[in-house]
A and B are shown apart, each in its own frame.
Chain A
Amino acid sequence: MASVWTLHFRFVSLRPCQYPFISSTRNRITITNGISKWPQLKQHSINTIAKFNHQLVTSMPTPPFLLNRNAGSNFPIWVCVAVVVLVAAVRVLPRRKKDRPGSVADLVRRGQLRSDRRGISRPLKYEDPFNNPFVKVGKSNSTVEMCGKVYRLAPVTLTQEQQTTHQRRRSRAYQWKRPTMFLKEGDSVPPDVDPDTVRWIPANHPFATTATDLDEDLAQNNVYQKNGVPFRIQAEHEALQRKLEALQNEQKLNKLVIDPTNAREFERPFNSNSKLNDHPDKSSVNNQEQKQNKLVIDPTNAKEFERSFNSHVKLNDHAEKSSINNQPSDSQSPKLESDANHFESASSSEEDPSL
């Protein structure tokens, strides 16, 4: 209620002849409806304000510079304004200068340039700890301060005698002979082997493979091989070639026709297992059919056959190329890996004596 009165009061004092709230806003009307003697009150308030204004004007003394408005009387104000502007400028300008990146001041602030070396064209070697402003060497040359911490050099006190004593102690404590024979747990020790040099390895150790079809000499030769096709890839290739020749001899065909379905038969060892299971019955049926029907060679089919057969030759080519870059690119690796894995499975299934 008080706030309403205040509002009303101020409004009346400013614009005594108009009553916009009474006519315009409904809320205002409802509030003022409660007051019965509205015109009297209005007149009273006008009088009160007029008296208050008069008292206010008469009680406050007028400042001398307003009373005396001659030339030069604004001088103190302008002095104050000038001082404020000056102070602001002094504070803002250096900050701007400092913020500008790459400036000399910025370099000095960041420690890249010494303030006493400005204008010297030779750059500082900051790798040199003794020429670095962040590294301070002590007066006695025995301490150095870096990053706010003081470091001192402590000489190594280990002597040759102490070193020898430690070696003797260890030789007494650890009587050890390096094992040269690794045997799986459960294997029997060969008769000509020193039992001290045998290392027993659990069967699930990474060293303990299930079966090693590779003898030691062959492995050594593989490591020493510098040029050419790697041994296993060559062996796989030769085995496949022999198989193909044997197949051809068996068939004793003067004119061989190979269509894509037949070519898939030869692709088997090179492709993934999923392809192995691709319509086995169908291919066998086709094979049998073509044994019965002697047909003419189709050049397109023959090309496909060549492509399928030479897939691992390409692999060898790739291996040759990769010897330049040492390792093939990432995108080719899964293919190579799968090929290699498949070679192993093929060789094991075929039981070729050369492997």
Chain B
Amino acid sequence: MLPLHHLPGATVVTKPPLSPATLFHPQPPFTFPHSKTLTPKPKHLPSPSSLLQWNRKPELAGETPRVAVITSGKGGVGKTTTTANIGLSLARLGFSVVAIDADVGLRNLDLLLGLENRVNYTVVEVLNGDCRLDQALVRDKRWSNFELLCISKPRSKLPLGFGGKALTWLVEALKSRQEGSPDFVLIDCPAGIDAGFITAITPANEAVLITTPDITSLRDADRVTGLLECDGIRDIKMIVNRVRTDMIKGEDMMSVLDVQEMLGLPLLGVIPEDCEVIRSTNRGYPLVLNKPPTLAGLAFEQAAWRLVEQDSMQAVVVEEEPKRGFFSFFGG
């Protein structure tokens, strides 16, 4: 899939592709990280232009495995959908991905991926010694470089205190696999800031914050961002989900730029509201695999592309009133 930089929710890249060496700058603790993508803007902003990048794959930036937690604070904003779609997008781009469903009591990632019948072993069984880690990993048959790992079965309980440590061990074990370390480990975080959240963020070194343009989601997102920053995770990017440009135009919804102004986080992606999301969820077939592609699926692919390159959006697409001609009144 080639990138569409002019679709709603798509980015506009104003610079040539960056090499990983120029993108990744490890930061010392207690200093705010230097943004790899956002540069101080001149006073007179030039009108954004687009640069299509056709004949290349995204260049992986940063050290592998990139352990990213996908969190939001509020429930129902699309964490699991994002994990499934970005994970499969990364797999389609050729990177090996392990998605960990860290929702202990209410796991759903397997359903979204259509792998619910293939989950027999979970991390709990691995910890107990009932199976090995490689047996608990469920390989997706559609994209064999995508693997799913569930923390527990819906009614089982995780041993107390093992949560965070267990995930750290898992990531370490994945690093030293015989077939090589995965490029990405995506952790689907449960809602809230309870023990599940603490477990999920423990091994992560970057975070993707999912939010919707409403005040409840924004307040939770801000709090979660604060907790992540206190925990030492500085590389936080946000995805604004369920954006409706028509409502933004009618000023019934906050614009993406408003959301960014409130949270102060770089944008990884903007996902338009799409009825195909529910359909794909029910089918167990992630949006990004849809043919023909859907708007939301394309936006997820774009976000995955930026995640790989540690890039962020430089411009967003806003809807305008169409300019009416003189004869528009008569249907012209």
Q: In the complex, A146→B317 CA distance in Å?
A: 12
Residues of B within 8 A of A227 (CB): 132
Residues of A within 8 A of B125 (CB): 340
Whether the Cβ atoms of A154 and B38 lie closer than 8 Å is: no
Q: In the complex, A170→B172 CA distance in Å?
A: 31
Residues of B within 8 A of A201 (CB): 160, 195
Whether the Cβ atoms of B264 and A222 lie closer than 8 Å is: no
Instruction: Let me know if A72 is at the binding interface, CB within 8 A.
Output: no
Instruction: Let me know if B94 is at the binding interface, CB within 8 A.
Output: no
Whether the Cβ atoms of A149 and B322 lie closer than 8 Å is: yes
Indicate which residue in A144, A164, A226, A231 contacts B129 across the interface (CB closer than 8 Å).
A231
Instruction: Let me know if A212 is at the binding interface, CB within 8 A.
Output: yes
Q: Which of A147-197 contact B (CB under 8 A)?
A: 148-167, 170-171, 173-184
Whether the Cβ atoms of B127 and A219 lie closer than 8 Å is: yes
Contact A219-B139, Cβ < 8 Å, known A156-B315, A201-B195, A206-B105:
no
Residues of A within 8 A of B129 (CB): 214, 218, 222, 225, 230-233, 235
Instruction: Let me know if B278 is at the binding interface, CB within 8 A.
Output: no
Q: Which of A124-153 contact B (CB under 8 A)?
A: 125, 127-130, 135, 137, 141-146, 148-153
Smallest CB-CB separation from B236: which chain A residue? Answer: A167
Instruction: Let me know if A322 is at the binding interface, CB within 8 A.
Output: yes
Q: In the complex, A153→B270 CA distance in Å?
A: 13
Residues of B within 8 A of A180 (CB): 164
Contact mask for chain B residues 293-332; partner A; CB cutoff 8 A; 1 contact, 0 none: 0000000000000000000111111111111000000000
Residues of A within 8 A of B215 (CB): none
Whether the Cβ atoms of B318 and A151 lie closer than 8 Å is: yes
Smallest CB-CB separation from A332: which chain B residue? Answer: B120
Q: In the complex, A137→B263 CA distance in Å?
A: 32
Residues of A within 8 A of B132 (CB): 225-228, 230, 319, 323
Contact A164-B137, Cβ < 8 Å, known A156-B267, A225-B132:
no
Instruction: Let me know if B231 is at the binding interface, CB within 8 A.
Output: yes
Whether the Cβ atoms of A327 and B119 lie closer than 8 Å is: yes
Residues of B within 8 A of A167 (CB): 32, 229, 264
Residues of A within 8 A of B127 (CB): 214, 219, 222-223
Whether the Cβ atoms of A174 and B139 lie closer than 8 Å is: no
Q: In the complex, A337→B130 CA distance in Å?
A: 10
Instruction: Let me know if B289 is at the binding interface, CB within 8 A.
Output: no
Contact mask for chain B residues 194-233; partner A; CB cutoff 8 A; 1 contact, 0 none: 1110110110000000000000000000110111011100
Contact A232-B40, Cβ < 8 Å, known A176-B227, A182-B163, A216-B162:
no
Smallest CB-CB separation from B133: which chain A residue? Answer: A223
Indicate which residue in A125, A199, A343 contacts B195 across the interface (CB closer than 8 Å).
A199
Contact A144-B6, Cβ < 8 Å, known A150-B323, A156-B260:
yes
Whether the Cβ atoms of B120 and A151 lie closer than 8 Å is: no
Whether the Cβ atoms of B229 and A171 lie closer than 8 Å is: yes
Instruction: Let me know if B142 is at the binding interface, CB within 8 A.
Output: no
Whether the Cβ atoms of A182 and B230 lie closer than 8 Å is: no
Contact mask for chain B residues 153-179; partner A; CB cutoff 8 A; 1 contact, 0 none: 000011111111110011011001110
Whether the Cβ atoms of A151 and B160 lie closer than 8 Å is: no
Q: In the complex, A23→B264 CA distance in Å?
A: 104
Whether the Cβ atoms of A156 and B257 lie closer than 8 Å is: yes
Whether the Cβ atoms of A130 and B6 lie closer than 8 Å is: yes
Instruction: Let me know if A325 is at the binding interface, CB within 8 A.
Output: yes
Indicate which residue in A155, A163, A223 contacts B45 across the interface (CB closer than 8 Å).
A155
Indicate which residue in B1, B161, B226, B245 contacts A181 across the interface (CB closer than 8 Å).
B161
Whether the Cβ atoms of A327 and B138 lie closer than 8 Å is: yes
Q: In the complex, A181→B195 CA distance in Å?
A: 10
Chain B at the A interface: mostly helix, strand, loop or mixed? loop
Q: In the complex, A127→B55 CA distance in Å?
A: 13
Q: In the complex, A207→B163 CA distance in Å?
A: 8
Contact A150-B322, Cβ < 8 Å, known A158-B264, A223-B170, A225-B133:
yes
| Shortest CB distance A336–B (Å) | 6
Whether the Cβ atoms of A327 and B135 lie closer than 8 Å is: yes
Whether the Cβ atoms of A163 and B227 lie closer than 8 Å is: no
Q: In the complex, A141→B48 CA distance in Å?
A: 10
Q: In the complex, A231→B160 CA distance in Å?
A: 21
Residues of B within 8 A of A183 (CB): 160
Instruction: Let me know if B147 is at the binding interface, CB within 8 A.
Output: yes
Indicate which residue in B48, B130, B177, B318 contacts A232 across the interface (CB closer than 8 Å).
B130
Q: Which of A221-275 contact B (CB under 8 A)?
A: 222-228, 230-233, 235
Whether the Cβ atoms of B316 and A156 lie closer than 8 Å is: yes
Indicate which residue in B54, B195, B316, B321 contacts A153 across the interface (CB closer than 8 Å).
B316
Residues of A within 8 A of B281 (CB): none
Residues of A within 8 A of B162 (CB): 212, 216, 219
Whether the Cβ atoms of B4 and A127 lie closer than 8 Å is: yes
| Shortest CB distance A340–B (Å) | 5
Whether the Cβ atoms of B198 and A160 lie closer than 8 Å is: no
Contact A220-B229, Cβ < 8 Å, known A135-B6, A170-B222:
no
Residues of B within 8 A of A226 (CB): 132-134, 177-178
Q: Which of B126, B131, B229, B318 has the most CB of A within 10 A?
A: B131
Q: Which of A41-74 contact B (CB under 8 A)?
A: none
Q: In the complex, A201→B164 CA distance in Å?
A: 14
Query: What would 17 A/B residue contacts be, using CB atoms closer than 8 Å?
Result: A128-B52, A152-B317, A152-B319, A154-B257, A154-B315, A154-B317, A156-B312, A165-B264, A173-B226, A180-B164, A182-B195, A206-B196, A222-B128, A223-B127, A235-B129, A326-B138, A327-B119
Q: Hey, which bits of chain B sit against chain A, CB under 8 A?
A: 1-2, 4-8, 12, 32, 35, 38-41, 45, 47-50, 52, 54, 104-105, 117-121, 125-139, 147, 152, 157-166, 169-170, 172-173, 176-178, 194-196, 198-199, 201-202, 222-223, 225-227, 229-231, 245, 257, 260-261, 263-267, 312-323
Q: Which 3 A-B pairs have the closest CB atoms?
A: A166-B264, A231-B129, A174-B226
Other than the given A207-B104, A214-B127, 9 more pairs (CB < 8 A) read: A127-B1, A129-B4, A149-B322, A156-B260, A176-B226, A199-B195, A206-B196, A208-B160, A224-B172
